[in-house]
């Protein structure tokens, strides 16, 4: 690579170089500090591995798109999920100029994939973690998609933040959230605020964890970062109370069990630039579904 930097300065070095090359940042809505209970930080989980990943992807010329995809998709569904999500929300017609909301957008991976499928659509991601929000804005700029994908740095559970975004963006044709609400204590408020931001006829697709009788809630909280998990019935009630008239649920527990075991086995085989923290999280996630009765799936909530 021919690049050297003292290990202790990796964070600062990366931030500076990224900022010099890609000026885009997320749109700031909040200034408060909220403790996010997420257990696998996507970024800075292990300084060394992410430093090199992000460096090799975003600071090379030209942008390393294949490495970017590898880096972005670490979870069940890969980029196929991006298309499946559009299908589930009935927003798969490329001639339409849909406006789509992504609640908890992480690195923006799903919207990037969806922007290719829907050349006329516009996307808005809301992400609380400023590092992810800014990094995703830079990735989006690097891919030339900044006119179609906006990232807000805001809290989904904060009414003032969501109202502010609604004032600026108006309402959306569809909304989705992938493995985010499981981290948020007050799920009702998030459902209510997303309902308000959807047009009539719009679908909110929420891929999420739920609890069943045997789910080990202590393990879920301590190892996975789940907060206040609800049963299937409780989630449907939350949706109804928020105003959604119909809800469907497809269970993915068995798929996640298989996926998390496979992800662990594949990650353990890599012996270069491996993140110990990530490996531990992959093991915890696999154990959660195999031994601690973790479960969950996809909700489709309709605003009729």
Ligand X SMILES: C[S@@+](CC[C@H](N)C(=O)[O-])C[C@H]1O[C@@H](n2cnc3c(N)ncnc32)[C@H](O)[C@@H]1O
Positions that interact with ligand X (CB under 6 A): 36, 38, 75, 104-106, 109, 126-129, 132, 155-157, 178-180, 183-184
d(CA 211, CA 216): 9
The residues, ordered by sequence, that sit 6+ positions from 136 with a Cβ below 8 Å of its Cβ are: 26, 105, 106, 107, 108, 125, 127, 151
Residue 89: CB minimum distance to ligand X, A? 15
Residue nearest to ligand X (CB): 106
Residue 275: CB minimum distance to ligand X, A? 15
Q: In the Cβ-directed half-sphere of 286, how many Cα atoms lie within 13 Å?
A: 17
Nearer to ligand X, 54 or 180 (CB): 180
d(CA 56, CA 50): 10
The residues, ordered by sequence, that sit 6+ positions from 56 with a Cβ below 8 Å of its Cβ are: 1, 64, 67
Nearer to ligand X, 13 or 45 (CB): 45
Chain length of the chain: 304
The residues, ordered by sequence, that sit 6+ positions from 244 with a Cβ below 8 Å of its Cβ are: 191, 195, 204, 301, 302, 303
Residue 271: CB minimum distance to ligand X, A? 25
Nearer to ligand X, 13 or 163 (CB): 163
Nearer to ligand X, 127 or 246 (CB): 127
d(CA 115, CA 224): 30
Residue 107: CB minimum distance to ligand X, A? 6
Nearer to ligand X, 13 or 41 (CB): 41
Residue 19: CB minimum distance to ligand X, A? 20
């Amino acid at each position: 690579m021919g690049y050297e930097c003292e290990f202790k300065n990796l964070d600062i070095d990366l931030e500076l170089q990224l900022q010099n090359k890609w000026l885009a940042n997320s749109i700031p809505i909040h200034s408060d500090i909220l403790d996010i209970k997420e257990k696998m930080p996507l970024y800075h989980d292990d300084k060394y591995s992410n430093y090199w990943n992000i460096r090799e992807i975003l600071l090379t010329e030209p942008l390393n798109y294949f490495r970017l995809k590898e880096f972005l998709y670490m979870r069940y569904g890969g980029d196929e999920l991006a298309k499946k999500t559009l299908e589930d929300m009935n927003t798969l017609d490329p001639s339409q100029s849909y406006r789509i909301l992504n609640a908890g957008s992480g690195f923006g991976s799903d919207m990037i994939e969806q922007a290719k499928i829907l050349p006329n659509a516009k996307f808005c991601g809301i992400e609380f973690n400023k590092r992810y929000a800014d990094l995703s804005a830079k990735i989006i700029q690097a891919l030339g998609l900044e006119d179609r994908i906006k990232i807000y740095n805001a809290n989904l559970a904060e009414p003032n933040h969501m109202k502010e975004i609604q004032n600026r963006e108006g309402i959306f044709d569809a909304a989705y959230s992938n493995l985010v609400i499981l981290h948020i204590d007050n799920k009702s408020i998030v459902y209510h605020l997303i309902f308000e931001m959807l047009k009539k006829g719009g679908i909110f697709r929420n891929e999420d964890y739920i609890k069943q009788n045997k789910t080990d809630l202590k393990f879920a909280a301590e190892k996975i970062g789940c907060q206040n998990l609800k049963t299937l019935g409780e989630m449907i009630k939350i949706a109804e109370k928020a105003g959604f008239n119909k809800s469907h649920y497809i269970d993915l527990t068995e798929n996640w069990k298989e996926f998390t075991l496979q992800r662990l086995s594949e990650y353990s085989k890599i012996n270069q630039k491996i993140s110990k923290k990530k490996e531990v999280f992959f093991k915890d996630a696999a154990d959660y579904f195999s031994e601690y009765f973790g479960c969950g799936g996809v909700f489709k909530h309709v605003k009729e």
